Protein backbone atom coordinates (compact mmCIF):
# COMPACT_ATOMS: atom_id res chain seq x y z
CA UNK A 1 0.00 0.00 0.00
CA UNK A 2 2.84 2.36 0.86
CA UNK A 3 4.58 1.50 -2.43
CA UNK A 4 1.41 2.27 -4.39
CA UNK A 5 1.07 5.59 -2.61
CA UNK A 6 4.73 6.42 -3.38
CA UNK A 7 4.28 5.62 -7.09
CA UNK A 8 1.11 7.70 -7.20
CA UNK A 9 2.87 10.64 -5.56
CA UNK A 10 5.76 10.35 -8.03
CA UNK A 11 3.36 10.32 -11.01
CA UNK A 12 1.50 13.30 -9.56
CA UNK A 13 4.73 15.28 -9.17
CA UNK A 14 5.83 14.29 -12.67
CA UNK A 15 2.52 15.38 -14.22
CA UNK A 16 2.54 18.58 -12.21
CA UNK A 17 6.05 19.24 -13.41
CA UNK A 18 5.01 18.78 -17.03
CA UNK A 19 1.90 20.89 -16.52
CA UNK A 20 3.96 23.94 -15.71
CA UNK A 21 5.07 26.42 -18.28
CA UNK A 22 7.68 25.36 -20.86
CA UNK A 23 7.49 21.65 -20.03
CA UNK A 24 8.14 22.16 -16.37
CA UNK A 25 11.07 24.48 -16.66
CA UNK A 26 14.72 24.03 -17.53
CA UNK A 27 15.15 20.94 -15.37
CA UNK A 28 12.35 19.06 -17.12
CA UNK A 29 13.56 20.08 -20.56
CA UNK A 30 17.12 19.01 -19.83
CA UNK A 31 15.86 15.67 -18.48
CA UNK A 32 13.66 15.21 -21.54
CA UNK A 33 16.39 15.93 -24.05
CA UNK A 34 18.96 13.82 -22.24
CA UNK A 35 16.43 10.96 -22.03
CA UNK A 36 15.63 11.38 -25.72
CA UNK A 37 19.34 11.25 -26.53
CA UNK A 38 19.72 8.09 -24.44
CA UNK A 39 16.69 6.52 -26.12
CA UNK A 40 18.01 7.30 -29.60
CA UNK A 41 21.43 5.96 -28.64
CA UNK A 42 19.80 2.81 -27.25
CA UNK A 43 17.69 2.38 -30.39
CA UNK A 44 20.74 2.84 -32.62
CA UNK A 45 22.73 0.38 -30.52
CA UNK A 46 19.88 -2.17 -30.66
CA UNK A 47 19.53 -1.92 -34.43
CA UNK A 48 23.29 -2.15 -34.84
CA UNK A 49 23.41 -5.15 -32.49
CA UNK A 50 20.73 -7.10 -34.36
CA UNK A 51 22.21 -6.31 -37.78
CA UNK A 52 25.66 -7.28 -36.59
CA UNK A 53 24.29 -10.43 -34.92
CA UNK A 54 22.62 -11.50 -38.14
CA UNK A 55 25.82 -10.85 -40.08
CA UNK A 56 27.90 -12.79 -37.58
CA UNK A 57 25.38 -15.65 -37.63
CA UNK A 58 25.56 -15.89 -41.40
CA UNK A 59 29.36 -15.66 -41.36
CA UNK A 60 29.60 -18.40 -38.74
CA UNK A 61 27.14 -20.64 -40.57
CA UNK A 62 28.96 -20.10 -43.88
CA UNK A 63 32.34 -20.85 -42.37
CA UNK A 64 31.06 -23.94 -40.62
CA UNK A 65 29.21 -25.21 -43.71
CA UNK A 66 32.24 -24.67 -45.97
CA UNK A 67 34.54 -26.43 -43.51
CA UNK A 68 32.16 -29.38 -43.26
CA UNK A 69 31.70 -29.51 -47.05
CA UNK A 70 35.44 -29.39 -47.72
CA UNK A 71 36.02 -32.17 -45.19
CA UNK A 72 33.41 -34.38 -46.86
CA UNK A 73 34.72 -33.52 -50.34
CA UNK A 74 38.22 -34.59 -49.31
CA UNK A 75 36.86 -37.82 -47.81
CA UNK A 76 34.55 -38.62 -50.74
CA UNK A 77 36.84 -37.52 -53.58
CA UNK A 78 37.72 -41.03 -54.97
CA UNK A 79 34.15 -42.25 -54.75
CA UNK A 80 32.80 -39.12 -56.39
CA UNK A 81 35.27 -39.49 -59.24
CA UNK A 82 34.27 -43.18 -59.67
CA UNK A 83 30.59 -42.38 -59.03
CA UNK A 84 30.30 -45.22 -56.49
CA UNK A 85 26.96 -44.44 -54.95
CA UNK A 86 27.08 -47.24 -52.40
CA UNK A 87 30.40 -46.19 -51.00
CA UNK A 88 29.26 -42.64 -50.95
CA UNK A 89 26.11 -43.55 -49.04
CA UNK A 90 28.09 -45.61 -46.58
CA UNK A 91 30.54 -42.82 -45.96
CA UNK A 92 27.97 -40.06 -45.51
CA UNK A 93 25.86 -42.09 -43.12
CA UNK A 94 28.19 -41.45 -40.12
CA UNK A 95 27.63 -37.75 -40.64
CA UNK A 96 24.08 -38.27 -39.36
CA UNK A 97 24.64 -41.12 -36.86
CA UNK A 98 27.14 -41.11 -34.00
CA UNK A 99 28.69 -44.15 -32.40
CA UNK A 100 26.00 -44.33 -29.72
CA UNK A 101 23.14 -44.10 -32.21
CA UNK A 102 22.38 -40.45 -31.67
CA UNK A 103 22.74 -37.50 -34.01
CA UNK A 104 26.36 -36.83 -34.93
CA UNK A 105 25.66 -33.18 -35.74
CA UNK A 106 22.27 -31.87 -34.68
CA UNK A 107 22.53 -28.92 -37.10
CA UNK A 108 23.06 -31.09 -40.22
CA UNK A 109 19.76 -31.34 -42.11
CA UNK A 110 20.62 -32.51 -45.63
CA UNK A 111 23.63 -33.99 -47.41
CA UNK A 112 23.83 -34.85 -51.11
CA UNK A 113 26.49 -35.68 -53.69
CA UNK A 114 26.24 -34.91 -57.41
CA UNK A 115 28.40 -35.95 -60.34
CA UNK A 116 30.14 -33.53 -62.65
CA UNK A 117 27.02 -33.04 -64.74
CA UNK A 118 25.02 -32.11 -61.67
CA UNK A 119 23.10 -35.40 -61.58
CA UNK A 120 22.09 -36.63 -58.15
CA UNK A 121 24.17 -39.57 -56.89
CA UNK A 122 23.32 -40.04 -53.23
CA UNK A 123 21.89 -38.03 -50.36
CA UNK A 124 20.26 -38.12 -46.96
CA UNK A 125 18.04 -35.95 -44.78
CA UNK A 126 17.57 -35.74 -41.01
CA UNK A 127 14.07 -37.23 -41.28
CA UNK A 128 15.34 -40.51 -42.68
CA UNK A 129 15.67 -43.44 -40.30
CA UNK A 130 19.31 -44.04 -39.45
CA UNK A 131 19.07 -47.83 -39.98
CA UNK A 132 17.58 -47.60 -43.43
CA UNK A 133 19.92 -47.74 -46.37
CA UNK A 134 17.60 -45.98 -48.72
CA UNK A 135 19.36 -43.11 -50.44
CA UNK A 136 16.39 -40.86 -50.65
CA UNK A 137 12.88 -41.72 -49.47
CA UNK A 138 10.28 -42.01 -52.17
CA UNK A 139 7.98 -39.79 -50.19
CA UNK A 140 9.19 -37.22 -47.73
CA UNK A 141 9.47 -33.52 -47.06
CA UNK A 142 10.17 -30.92 -49.68
CA UNK A 143 13.84 -30.80 -48.80
CA UNK A 144 14.25 -34.46 -49.79
CA UNK A 145 12.57 -33.79 -53.11
CA UNK A 146 14.86 -30.86 -53.79
CA UNK A 147 17.92 -33.05 -53.27
CA UNK A 148 16.88 -35.37 -56.12
CA UNK A 149 16.71 -32.57 -58.63
CA UNK A 150 19.76 -32.04 -60.74
CA UNK A 151 21.76 -28.93 -60.30
CA UNK A 152 21.05 -26.06 -62.62
CA UNK A 153 23.47 -25.12 -65.35
CA UNK A 154 24.27 -21.87 -63.56
CA UNK A 155 25.17 -23.77 -60.42
CA UNK A 156 27.33 -26.27 -62.34
CA UNK A 157 29.32 -23.46 -63.93
CA UNK A 158 30.20 -21.70 -60.71
CA UNK A 159 33.83 -21.52 -59.67
CA UNK A 160 33.36 -20.60 -56.01
CA UNK A 161 31.25 -22.31 -53.34
CA UNK A 162 27.63 -21.17 -53.25
CA UNK A 163 26.21 -20.22 -49.84
CA UNK A 164 22.57 -19.32 -49.53
CA UNK A 165 19.59 -19.43 -47.24
CA UNK A 166 17.43 -22.21 -48.64
CA UNK A 167 14.52 -22.12 -46.19
CA UNK A 168 13.53 -20.68 -42.85
CA UNK A 169 16.46 -21.34 -40.54
CA UNK A 170 18.27 -23.56 -43.14
CA UNK A 171 21.55 -22.44 -44.69
CA UNK A 172 22.77 -24.37 -47.76
CA UNK A 173 26.23 -24.61 -49.34
CA UNK A 174 27.13 -26.20 -52.70
CA UNK A 175 30.85 -26.93 -53.05
CA UNK A 176 32.46 -27.88 -56.37
CA UNK A 177 34.81 -30.87 -55.94
CA UNK A 178 37.95 -30.48 -58.01
CA UNK A 179 40.90 -32.68 -58.81
CA UNK A 180 43.64 -31.47 -61.07
CA UNK A 181 41.71 -28.25 -61.65
CA UNK A 182 38.71 -30.13 -63.07
CA UNK A 183 35.29 -30.29 -61.43
CA UNK A 184 34.38 -33.95 -60.87
CA UNK A 185 31.31 -33.43 -58.72
CA UNK A 186 29.47 -31.38 -56.14
CA UNK A 187 28.83 -31.72 -52.42
CA UNK A 188 25.62 -30.14 -51.16
CA UNK A 189 24.70 -29.89 -47.53
CA UNK A 190 22.21 -27.94 -45.47
CA UNK A 191 22.74 -26.77 -41.91
CA UNK A 192 20.16 -25.54 -39.46
CA UNK A 193 20.83 -22.22 -37.75
CA UNK A 194 18.28 -22.78 -34.98
CA UNK A 195 20.84 -23.49 -32.30
CA UNK A 196 22.96 -20.51 -33.25
CA UNK A 197 19.85 -18.38 -33.66
CA UNK A 198 18.66 -19.46 -30.22
CA UNK A 199 22.05 -18.62 -28.79
CA UNK A 200 22.07 -15.24 -30.46
CA UNK A 201 18.47 -14.67 -29.40
CA UNK A 202 19.39 -15.43 -25.80
CA UNK A 203 22.34 -13.09 -26.06
CA UNK A 204 20.10 -10.49 -27.66
CA UNK A 205 17.64 -10.80 -24.79
CA UNK A 206 20.43 -10.40 -22.29
CA UNK A 207 21.71 -7.43 -24.26
CA UNK A 208 18.20 -5.95 -24.37
CA UNK A 209 17.82 -6.37 -20.61
CA UNK A 210 21.24 -4.85 -20.06
CA UNK A 211 20.33 -2.07 -22.48
CA UNK A 212 17.09 -1.37 -20.62
CA UNK A 213 19.00 -1.30 -17.35
CA UNK A 214 21.56 1.03 -18.90
CA UNK A 215 18.75 3.27 -20.20
CA UNK A 216 17.11 3.35 -16.77
CA UNK A 217 20.42 4.08 -15.11
CA UNK A 218 21.06 6.69 -17.79
CA UNK A 219 17.68 8.26 -17.09
CA UNK A 220 18.47 8.37 -13.40
CA UNK A 221 21.90 9.81 -14.14
CA UNK A 222 20.37 12.30 -16.59
CA UNK A 223 17.92 13.29 -13.91
CA UNK A 224 20.75 13.78 -11.45
CA UNK A 225 22.78 15.69 -14.05
CA UNK A 226 19.75 17.80 -14.92
CA UNK A 227 19.21 18.56 -11.25
CA UNK A 228 22.89 19.39 -10.74
CA UNK A 229 22.89 21.63 -13.83
CA UNK A 230 19.50 23.24 -13.49
CA UNK A 231 19.37 23.69 -9.72
CA UNK A 232 21.83 26.61 -9.86
CA UNK A 233 19.95 27.91 -12.90
CA UNK A 234 16.66 27.64 -11.03
CA UNK A 235 18.16 29.47 -8.07
CA UNK A 236 19.56 32.04 -10.49
CA UNK A 237 16.14 32.43 -12.14
CA UNK A 238 14.44 32.80 -8.76
CA UNK A 239 17.05 35.36 -7.71
CA UNK A 240 16.47 37.25 -10.97
CA UNK A 241 12.72 37.31 -10.25
CA UNK A 242 13.41 38.58 -6.73
CA UNK A 243 15.74 41.20 -8.16
CA UNK A 244 13.03 42.22 -10.62
CA UNK A 245 10.59 42.64 -7.71
CA UNK A 246 13.33 44.46 -5.73
CA UNK A 247 13.28 41.80 -3.02
CA UNK A 248 16.82 40.53 -3.65
CA UNK A 249 18.67 40.38 -0.37
CA UNK A 250 21.22 37.54 -0.39
CA UNK A 251 23.62 36.38 -3.17
CA UNK A 252 23.07 33.04 -4.90
CA UNK A 253 25.40 30.40 -3.40
CA UNK A 254 28.28 29.46 -5.71
CA UNK A 255 29.25 25.79 -5.94
CA UNK A 256 32.17 24.56 -8.02
CA UNK A 257 34.19 26.45 -10.59
CA UNK A 258 32.35 25.76 -13.84
CA UNK A 259 30.68 28.06 -16.32
CA UNK A 260 27.48 28.19 -14.27
CA UNK A 261 29.47 29.13 -11.17
CA UNK A 262 31.12 31.97 -13.06
CA UNK A 263 27.70 33.00 -14.37
CA UNK A 264 26.33 33.04 -10.80
CA UNK A 265 29.33 35.05 -9.59
CA UNK A 266 28.75 37.54 -12.40
CA UNK A 267 25.05 37.71 -11.51
CA UNK A 268 25.85 38.28 -7.83
CA UNK A 269 28.28 41.06 -8.72
CA UNK A 270 25.74 42.63 -11.06
CA UNK A 271 22.95 42.34 -8.49
CA UNK A 272 25.18 43.79 -5.77
CA UNK A 273 26.13 46.66 -8.08
CA UNK A 274 22.48 47.29 -8.95
CA UNK A 275 21.54 47.18 -5.27
CA UNK A 276 24.28 49.63 -4.36
CA UNK A 277 23.29 51.90 -7.23
CA UNK A 278 19.66 51.72 -6.20
CA UNK A 279 20.60 52.60 -2.62
CA UNK A 280 22.83 55.41 -3.87
CA UNK A 281 20.09 56.63 -6.23
CA UNK A 282 17.51 56.50 -3.45
CA UNK A 283 19.85 58.36 -1.14
CA UNK A 284 20.61 60.88 -3.88
CA UNK A 285 16.90 61.42 -4.54
CA UNK A 286 16.34 61.97 -0.83
CA UNK A 287 19.22 64.43 -0.66
CA UNK A 288 18.00 66.27 -3.75
CA UNK A 289 14.51 66.49 -2.30
CA UNK A 290 15.84 67.90 0.96
CA UNK A 291 18.08 70.32 -0.92
CA UNK A 292 15.20 71.43 -3.12
CA UNK A 293 12.90 71.89 -0.13
CA UNK A 294 15.63 73.66 1.83
CA UNK A 295 16.38 75.94 -1.13
CA UNK A 296 12.73 76.91 -1.46
CA UNK A 297 12.49 77.46 2.28
CA UNK A 298 15.63 79.58 2.36
CA UNK A 299 14.66 81.67 -0.63
CA UNK A 300 11.12 82.46 0.46
CA UNK A 301 12.19 84.70 3.36
CA UNK A 302 14.62 87.62 3.46
CA UNK A 303 14.84 88.15 7.19
CA UNK A 304 18.41 87.32 8.19
CA UNK A 305 17.63 86.17 11.75
CA UNK A 306 14.88 83.81 10.56
CA UNK A 307 17.14 82.64 7.74
CA UNK A 308 19.90 81.74 10.18
CA UNK A 309 17.50 79.62 12.25
CA UNK A 310 16.17 77.83 9.14
CA UNK A 311 19.70 77.16 7.93
CA UNK A 312 20.75 75.33 11.08
CA UNK A 313 17.54 73.28 11.26
CA UNK A 314 17.63 72.27 7.57
CA UNK A 315 21.31 71.34 7.72
CA UNK A 316 20.65 69.13 10.75
CA UNK A 317 18.07 67.11 8.79
CA UNK A 318 20.15 67.04 5.62
CA UNK A 319 23.30 65.40 6.97
CA UNK A 320 21.63 63.71 9.98
CA UNK A 321 23.84 65.64 12.39
CA UNK A 322 23.39 65.87 16.13
CA UNK A 323 24.11 69.62 16.12
CA UNK A 324 24.57 72.25 13.40
CA UNK A 325 25.95 75.71 14.12
CA UNK A 326 26.26 78.77 11.91
CA UNK A 327 29.02 81.14 13.00
CA UNK A 328 29.44 84.67 11.69
CA UNK A 329 32.90 86.15 11.31
CA UNK A 330 33.86 89.67 12.39
CA UNK A 331 36.97 90.47 10.40
CA UNK A 332 37.62 93.70 12.29
CA UNK A 333 37.59 92.17 15.78
CA UNK A 334 38.92 88.78 14.59
CA UNK A 335 36.12 86.93 16.35
CA UNK A 336 33.59 84.24 15.52
CA UNK A 337 30.13 84.16 17.04
CA UNK A 338 27.65 81.29 16.81
CA UNK A 339 24.62 83.16 15.53
CA UNK A 340 22.37 80.12 15.08
CA UNK A 341 22.59 76.62 16.61
CA UNK A 342 20.19 73.69 16.18
CA UNK A 343 20.41 70.29 17.86
CA UNK A 344 21.50 68.68 21.08
CA UNK A 345 24.36 71.08 21.85
CA UNK A 346 22.43 74.27 21.07
CA UNK A 347 22.49 75.39 24.71
CA UNK A 348 26.26 74.99 25.02
CA UNK A 349 27.13 76.68 21.73
CA UNK A 350 24.44 79.37 21.31
CA UNK A 351 25.94 82.86 21.58
CA UNK A 352 29.44 81.50 22.12
CA UNK A 353 32.18 83.87 20.92
CA UNK A 354 35.71 82.75 20.17
CA UNK A 355 38.76 84.60 18.96
CA UNK A 356 40.11 83.58 15.58
CA UNK A 357 43.28 81.66 16.37
CA UNK A 358 46.30 81.66 14.11
CA UNK A 359 46.20 77.90 13.67
CA UNK A 360 42.47 77.40 13.96
CA UNK A 361 39.86 76.14 11.56
CA UNK A 362 39.05 79.61 10.25
CA UNK A 363 42.59 80.31 9.11
CA UNK A 364 42.90 76.81 7.71
CA UNK A 365 39.74 77.19 5.59
CA UNK A 366 40.59 80.79 4.68
CA UNK A 367 44.05 79.68 3.52
CA UNK A 368 42.93 76.72 1.44
CA UNK A 369 39.39 77.83 0.58
CA UNK A 370 38.01 74.29 0.86
CA UNK A 371 35.60 72.52 3.22
CA UNK A 372 37.06 70.55 6.10
CA UNK A 373 36.13 67.05 7.32
CA UNK A 374 37.48 65.89 10.68
CA UNK A 375 36.46 62.39 11.72
CA UNK A 376 38.34 62.47 15.07
CA UNK A 377 37.86 65.96 16.47
CA UNK A 378 39.42 65.24 19.87
CA UNK A 379 42.83 64.34 18.45
CA UNK A 380 43.08 66.74 15.51
CA UNK A 381 45.90 69.27 15.83
CA UNK A 382 43.76 72.12 14.49
CA UNK A 383 41.25 71.84 17.34
CA UNK A 384 41.33 72.18 21.11
CA UNK A 385 41.08 68.56 22.17
CA UNK A 386 40.06 69.36 25.76
CA UNK A 387 37.28 71.65 24.57
CA UNK A 388 36.06 69.05 22.08
CA UNK A 389 36.07 66.38 24.78
CA UNK A 390 34.20 68.60 27.23
CA UNK A 391 31.55 69.35 24.60
CA UNK A 392 31.35 65.68 23.58
CA UNK A 393 32.25 66.41 19.96
CA UNK A 394 33.63 63.33 18.19
CA UNK A 395 33.56 64.35 14.52
CA UNK A 396 32.70 67.49 12.61
CA UNK A 397 32.72 69.04 9.20
CA UNK A 398 32.92 72.72 8.39
CA UNK A 399 32.19 74.57 5.17
CA UNK A 400 32.80 78.27 4.49
CA UNK A 401 30.10 80.77 3.64
CA UNK A 402 31.21 83.23 1.00
CA UNK A 403 29.99 86.63 -0.07
CA UNK A 404 31.78 88.36 -2.95
CA UNK A 405 34.96 86.29 -2.47
CA UNK A 406 34.98 87.12 1.23
CA UNK A 407 34.37 84.47 3.86
CA UNK A 408 31.60 85.75 6.08
CA UNK A 409 30.88 82.70 8.19
CA UNK A 410 31.24 78.98 8.87
CA UNK A 411 28.58 76.28 8.76
CA UNK A 412 29.58 73.41 11.04
CA UNK A 413 27.98 70.01 11.73
CA UNK A 414 28.89 68.14 14.94
CA UNK A 415 28.52 64.38 15.58
CA UNK A 416 26.52 62.31 13.13
CA UNK A 417 23.37 60.71 14.51
CA UNK A 418 23.74 57.00 15.21
CA UNK A 419 27.28 57.23 16.54
CA UNK A 420 29.10 57.10 13.21
CA UNK A 421 31.39 59.63 11.60
CA UNK A 422 30.72 61.92 8.68
CA UNK A 423 31.97 60.74 5.28
CA UNK A 424 32.85 62.39 1.99
CA UNK A 425 29.29 62.05 0.72
CA UNK A 426 28.04 64.04 3.71
CA UNK A 427 30.72 66.66 3.08
CA UNK A 428 29.76 67.03 -0.60
CA UNK A 429 26.10 67.38 0.32
CA UNK A 430 26.94 69.84 3.08
CA UNK A 431 29.03 71.89 0.64
CA UNK A 432 26.17 72.12 -1.86
CA UNK A 433 23.85 73.20 0.93
CA UNK A 434 26.36 75.83 2.08
CA UNK A 435 26.33 77.34 -1.42
CA UNK A 436 22.55 77.68 -1.15
CA UNK A 437 22.94 79.25 2.28
CA UNK A 438 25.58 81.68 1.01
CA UNK A 439 23.32 82.73 -1.84
CA UNK A 440 20.33 83.10 0.48
CA UNK A 441 22.31 85.14 3.03
CA UNK A 442 23.79 87.31 0.32
CA UNK A 443 20.34 87.91 -1.16
CA UNK A 444 18.97 88.76 2.27
CA UNK A 445 21.89 91.10 2.95
CA UNK A 446 21.46 92.80 -0.41
CA UNK A 447 17.75 93.12 0.26
CA UNK A 448 18.36 94.70 3.66
CA UNK A 449 20.92 97.09 2.16
CA UNK A 450 18.49 97.98 -0.57
CA UNK A 451 15.74 98.50 1.98
CA UNK A 452 17.99 100.79 4.04
CA UNK A 453 18.92 102.77 0.95
CA UNK A 454 15.29 103.03 -0.04
CA UNK A 455 14.38 104.29 3.45
CA UNK A 456 17.13 106.90 3.32
CA UNK A 457 16.08 107.91 -0.16
CA UNK A 458 12.48 108.22 0.95
CA UNK A 459 13.48 110.37 3.93
CA UNK A 460 15.64 112.61 1.73
CA UNK A 461 12.81 112.89 -0.73
CA UNK A 462 10.46 114.00 2.10
CA UNK A 463 12.91 116.59 3.25
CA UNK A 464 13.26 117.87 -0.27
CA UNK A 465 9.50 118.16 -0.63
CA UNK A 466 9.25 120.03 2.64
CA UNK A 467 12.05 122.40 1.62
CA UNK A 468 10.33 123.06 -1.69
CA UNK A 469 7.12 123.83 0.10
CA UNK A 470 8.85 126.27 2.47
CA UNK A 471 10.63 127.94 -0.42
CA UNK A 472 7.33 128.45 -2.18
CA UNK A 473 5.83 129.90 0.98
CA UNK A 474 8.81 132.25 1.40
CA UNK A 475 8.54 133.44 -2.17
CA UNK A 476 4.83 134.03 -1.69
CA UNK A 477 5.50 135.92 1.55
CA UNK A 478 8.12 138.11 -0.15
CA UNK A 479 5.71 138.99 -2.91
CA UNK A 480 2.93 139.71 -0.45
CA UNK A 481 5.24 141.79 1.78
CA UNK A 482 6.48 143.78 -1.17
CA UNK A 483 2.99 144.50 -2.40
CA UNK A 484 1.71 145.39 1.09
CA UNK A 485 4.81 147.30 2.21
CA UNK A 486 4.48 150.11 -0.39
CA UNK A 487 0.93 151.26 0.51
CA UNK A 488 1.66 150.61 4.16
CA UNK A 489 4.62 152.99 4.03
CA UNK A 490 2.39 155.67 2.54
CA UNK A 491 -0.23 155.15 5.25
CA UNK A 492 2.39 155.27 7.99
CA UNK A 493 4.04 158.41 6.53
CA UNK A 494 0.80 160.31 6.12
CA UNK A 495 -0.41 159.32 9.58
CA UNK A 496 2.82 160.48 11.20
CA UNK A 497 2.70 163.72 9.22
CA UNK A 498 -0.89 164.41 10.30
CA UNK A 499 -0.06 163.84 13.94
CA UNK A 500 2.89 166.21 13.80
CA UNK A 501 1.42 168.98 11.68
CA UNK A 502 -2.21 169.20 12.68
CA UNK A 503 -3.61 170.32 15.95
CA UNK A 504 -6.39 167.85 16.27
CA UNK A 505 -8.74 167.10 19.05
CA UNK A 506 -7.60 164.56 21.50
CA UNK A 507 -10.00 161.94 20.29
CA UNK A 508 -8.99 162.22 16.66
CA UNK A 509 -5.36 162.40 17.61
CA UNK A 510 -5.63 159.17 19.61
CA UNK A 511 -7.25 157.50 16.63
CA UNK A 512 -4.38 158.59 14.38
CA UNK A 513 -1.89 157.34 16.94
CA UNK A 514 -3.68 153.97 17.04
CA UNK A 515 -3.47 153.83 13.24
CA UNK A 516 0.23 154.60 13.48
CA UNK A 517 0.81 151.85 16.05
CA UNK A 518 -1.09 149.22 14.05
CA UNK A 519 0.71 150.27 10.90
CA UNK A 520 4.04 149.83 12.67
CA UNK A 521 2.84 146.42 13.84
CA UNK A 522 1.94 145.42 10.26
CA UNK A 523 5.30 146.73 9.12
CA UNK A 524 7.03 144.52 11.70
CA UNK A 525 5.08 141.51 10.42
CA UNK A 526 6.04 142.32 6.84
CA UNK A 527 9.70 142.56 7.81
CA UNK A 528 9.40 139.12 9.46
CA UNK A 529 7.95 137.75 6.22
CA UNK A 530 10.79 139.29 4.29
CA UNK A 531 13.33 137.73 6.66
CA UNK A 532 11.55 134.28 6.24
CA UNK A 533 11.54 134.56 2.46
CA UNK A 534 15.25 135.40 2.41
CA UNK A 535 15.99 132.23 4.50
CA UNK A 536 13.95 130.01 2.10
CA UNK A 537 15.82 131.43 -0.81
CA UNK A 538 19.12 130.45 0.78
CA UNK A 539 17.79 126.86 1.44
CA UNK A 540 16.69 126.52 -2.15
CA UNK A 541 20.09 127.70 -3.33
In this structure, what DSSP letter does residue 303 have? -
Does domain 20-245 match CATH 3.20.20.70? no
Beta carbons within 8 Å of 535's beta carbon, 6+ residues apart:
474
Q: What are phi and psi of 174, to 5 degrees?
A: -120, 115
User: Quick one: pLDDT band at residue 124, thresholds 50, 70, 90?
Assistant: confident
Higher pLDDT among residues 259 and 206, named by residue = 206
pLDDT at 138 over 50: no
Residue in 203, 197, 263 with CA at minimum distance from that of residue 230: 263
Residue 323 pLDDT level (bands cut at 50, 70, 90): confident
DSSP conformation letters of 124-179:
EETTS-TT---SS-SS--HHHHHHHSPPPHHHHT-SS-EEEEEETTEEEEEEEEEE
Residue 102 above 80 pLDDT? no
Side-chain-facing half-sphere of 252: CA atoms under 13 Å:
28
Average pLDDT for the chain: 74
Domain range annotation of the chain: 20-245, 251-300, 302-440
- Which CATH class name applies to 302-440? alpha beta
pLDDT digits 0-9 by tens, 346-396? 676 665 666 556 556 766 776 677 888 888 888 887 777 887 888 888 888
**Rounded Cα distance, 369 and 407, in Å:** 9
**Tell me, what's the pLDDT at 104?**
57
Angstrom CA distances, 35 to 8, 48, 212, 485, stand at 22, 20, 12, 139
Q: pLDDT tens digits, residue range 408-452?
A: 888 888 888 887 888 888 888 888 888 888 787 778 778 888 888
Q: What is the pTM of this model?
A: 0.46
Distance from first CA to last CA of the chain, Å, rounded?
129
Nearest alpha-carbon partner for 136 in 150, 120, 151, 152:
120
pLDDT tens digits, residue range 2-60? Answer: 554 455 455 445 444 444 444 455 566 666 777 777 778 777 877 887 788 778 877 87
Q: 3-state class of 19 per DSSP?
A: helix
- Rounded CA-CA distance 500/72 in Å is 212
Of residues 302 and 187, which shows the higher confidence score? 187
CB distance 322 to 433 below 8 Å: no
Bridge-based pairing of strands 162-167 and 335-343 is unpaired
Beta pairing, strands 170-179 & 162-167? antiparallel
Query: Which residues does 227 contact at the CB level (< 8 Å), separation at least 6?
Result: 27
Three-state secondary structure string covering 443-456: HHHHHHHHHHHHHH
Q: What is the mean pLDDT of residues 89-111?
A: 68
The sign of the torsion formed by the CA atoms of 299, 305, 308, 312 equals negative
Strand partners, 178: 183
320 has a pLDDT exceeding 60:
yes
pLDDT digits (tens, 9 = 90+) for 247-306: 666 666 666 666 667 777 777 777 778 778 888 888 778 878 877 777 777 777 777 777
Residue 11 has what pLDDT? Answer: 46
Equal CATH topology for 20-245 and 302-440 = yes
C-alpha distance from residue 151 to each of 157, 178, 187 (Å): 10, 16, 11
- 359: which DSSP letter? T
C-alpha of 26 from chain center: 21
DSSP string computed for 60-115: HHHHHHHHHHHHHHHHHHHHHHHT-HHHHHHHHGGGTB-TTSSBS-TTEEEEEEEE
Q: Highest mean pLDDT: which of 88-92, 147-151, 226-230, 477-481? A: 88-92
Of 278-282, 322-326, 485-489, the poorest mean pLDDT is in 485-489
pLDDT digits over 50-86, tens only? 788 778 877 877 888 788 888 888 888 888 788 888 8
Amino acid sequence: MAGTYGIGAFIERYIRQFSTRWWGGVRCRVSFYVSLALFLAAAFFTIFFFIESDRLLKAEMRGRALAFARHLATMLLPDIAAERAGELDRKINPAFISFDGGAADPDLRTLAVYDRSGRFLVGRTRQEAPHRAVRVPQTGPAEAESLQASLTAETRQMQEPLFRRAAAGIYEVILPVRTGGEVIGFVRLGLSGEWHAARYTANARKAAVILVIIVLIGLAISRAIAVSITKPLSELSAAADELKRRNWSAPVPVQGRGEISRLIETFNDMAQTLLQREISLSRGNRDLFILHTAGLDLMEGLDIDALLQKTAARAEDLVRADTVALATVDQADREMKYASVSGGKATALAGLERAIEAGGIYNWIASYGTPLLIQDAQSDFRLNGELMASLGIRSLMTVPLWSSNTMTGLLTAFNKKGGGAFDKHDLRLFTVFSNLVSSALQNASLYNDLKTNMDELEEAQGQFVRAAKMAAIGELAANVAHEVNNPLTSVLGYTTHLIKTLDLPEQQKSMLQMIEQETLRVRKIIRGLLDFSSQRSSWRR
